[in-house]
């Protein structure tokens, strides 16, 4: 039987430990910079984690600038933030285009005078085995998630260096620490961004500019609906969507945003989000040869590749074809998508075989609408290239082929002013598969309203 003296010593030890922990938390909070009134520029801030970050920074009375490629999406985000009382500037911008980035920075400086904090958040993701990826998939990932980090960072670095203060945070990924199967273009771009940020910190730290690398694990933002899936589309969408949605595998977006903002205020060199991501990153550092071997075993459980390198569907399209059980399992993800502006028309994506009839009907309706409204203009010009595919397809007795749907999907996206790299590739493939001998149409002007 323990003595009273032993019990007292035990309680004193527990109390001392609690006091140390409380003091540690208090010290960390004291080290957090007061960023009230500062200007925060967030790329890809119209939806998902970017929008959650904008809300969190606005909660701290920061002045917010957001950019994205989709103007309608950007306007919804601006309106949502302003309803919460935020001072917001929303600028359409494709961060893979340096001239648009320069215009973005000029707009922010014109409105707010400076950029105190830059958060590089814009991203795209294509899921599928490497045998289904094309060179263009890698180029598109690098354009947004590497050059889309370099351009805005260099645009504000001189300003921050001359002031002797500033913070540059880049949202990379655990995929920038450990290369994950079926996400190779994404991981390549994230690895490049991590290397850029780590090197940049060593050079800018002496000027008082803090460079913060954020590496989230799976985050429940609803962004799976915008992901593009190649190869065995439904199966790829299934594993990725569940991984990015189930609570024991993914972190809530708002929780992630709070941790990221805290890391930015503290000027931490690096912050890895979620216990699973921390364990994976640390294990890969200690056992660099073992973790890839384990992942290669996991890769055997993922869907096999297919001969088709060009077709893809979005997560929203895949979701539309799933049953009640799947919808029940992804409830949290769909709620996040609703909160974070990730919902959009699933019919806009290409090549979903189940959506072919509705897509064709939609296209015909749009063409009739444009013909009845001569003042309606689009990047597709006078629509002559539309006629090039429409007339022979309407005469077909065998129904539309995959290539035909690709071409029609591209027509739809162009009419909406939102052509994408994937749509352009599908157009060219459709041209070849349909055996059209005429010259390809002039590539439409790249709209700044493409989804970030």
How far is Cα 212 from Cα 359, in angstroms, rounded to an integer?
44
How far is Cα 167 from Cα 152, in angstroms, rounded to an integer?
13
Calculate the alpha carbon distances from 313 to 111, 262, 319 in Å: 39, 36, 10
CA angle 265, 268, 270 (to 5 degrees): 130
- Helices (DSSP H) in 205-329: which residue ranges? 233-243, 253-266, 275-286, 290-299, 315-320, 324-329
How far is Cα 148 from Cα 120, in angstroms, rounded to an integer?
8
DSSP 269-285: SEEEESHHHHHHHHHHH
Residue tagged active-site, from 151, 186, 224, 410: 186
Q: Tokens 């300003």 identify what position?
A: 159
- Helices (DSSP H) in 382-420: which residue ranges? 384-394, 402-415
DSSP E strand boundaries for 24-143: 39-43, 63-68, 87-92, 117-120, 126-127
Spatial neighbors of 11 by CB under 8 A, at least 6 apart, are none
CB 128 within 8 A of CB 314: no
186 is an active site residue: yes
Say what angle helices 421-433 and 135-145 make with each other, to 10 degrees: 160
How far is Cα 162 from Cα 338, in angstroms, rounded to an integer?
41
Catalytic residues: 186
């Amino acid at each position: 039987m323990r003595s009273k003296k032993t019990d007292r010593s035990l309680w004193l030890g527990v109390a001392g430990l609690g006091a140390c922990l409380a003091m540690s938390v208090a010290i960390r909070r004291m080290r957090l910079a007061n960023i009230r009134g500062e200007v925060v520029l967030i790329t890809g801030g119209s939806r998902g984690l970017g929008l959650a970050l904008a809300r969190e920074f606005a909660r701290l009375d920061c002045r917010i600038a957001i950019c994205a490629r989709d103007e309608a999406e950007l306007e919804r985000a601006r309106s949502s933030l302003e309803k919460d009382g935020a001072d917001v500037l929303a600028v359409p911008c494709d961060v893979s285009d340096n001239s648009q980035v320069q215009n973005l920075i000029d707009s922010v400086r014109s409105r707010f005078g400076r950029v105190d904090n830059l958060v590089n958040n814009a991203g795209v993701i294509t899921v599928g085995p490497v045998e289904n990826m094309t060179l263009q998939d890698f180029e598109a990932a690098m354009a947004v998630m590497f050059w889309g980090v370099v351009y805005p960072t260099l645009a504000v670095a001189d300003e921050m260096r001359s002031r002797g203060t500033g913070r540059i945070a880049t949202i990379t990924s655990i995929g920038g620490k450990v290369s994950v199967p079926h996400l190779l273009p994404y991981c390549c771009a994230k690895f490049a961004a991590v290397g850029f940020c780590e090197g940049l910190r060593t050079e800018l730290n002496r000027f008082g500019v803090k460079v913060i690398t954020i590496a989230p694990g799976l985050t429940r933002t609803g962004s799976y609906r915008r992901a593009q899936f190649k190869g065995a589309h439904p199966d790829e969408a299934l594993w990725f969507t569940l991984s990015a949605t189930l609570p024991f595998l993914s972190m809530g977006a708002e929780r992630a945003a709070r941790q990221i903002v805290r890391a930015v205020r503290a000027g931490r060199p690096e912050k890895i989000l979620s216990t699973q991501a921390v364990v994976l990153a640390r294990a890969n550092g200690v056992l660099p040869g073992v973790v890839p071997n384990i992942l290669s075993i996991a890769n055997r459980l993922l869907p096999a590749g297919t001969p088709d390198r060009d077709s893809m569907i979005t997560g929203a399209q895949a979701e539309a074809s799933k049953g009640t059980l799947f919808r029940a399992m992804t409830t949290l993800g769909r709620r996040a998508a609703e909160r974070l502006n990730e919902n959009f028309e699933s019919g806009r994506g290409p090549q979903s075989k189940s959506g072919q009839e509705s897509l064709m009907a939609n296209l015909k309706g749009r063409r009739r609408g444009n013909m009845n409204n001569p003042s309606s203009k689009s990047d597709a010009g006078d629509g002559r290239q539309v006629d090039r595919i429409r007339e022979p397809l309407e005469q077909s007795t065998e129904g539309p082929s995959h290539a035909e749907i690709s071409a029609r999907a591209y027509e739809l996206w162009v009419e909406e002013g939102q052509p994408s790299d994937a749509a352009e590739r599908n157009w060219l493939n459709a041209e070849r598969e349909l055996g059209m001998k005429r010259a390809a149409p002039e590539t439409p002007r790249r709209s700044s309203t493409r989804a970030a």
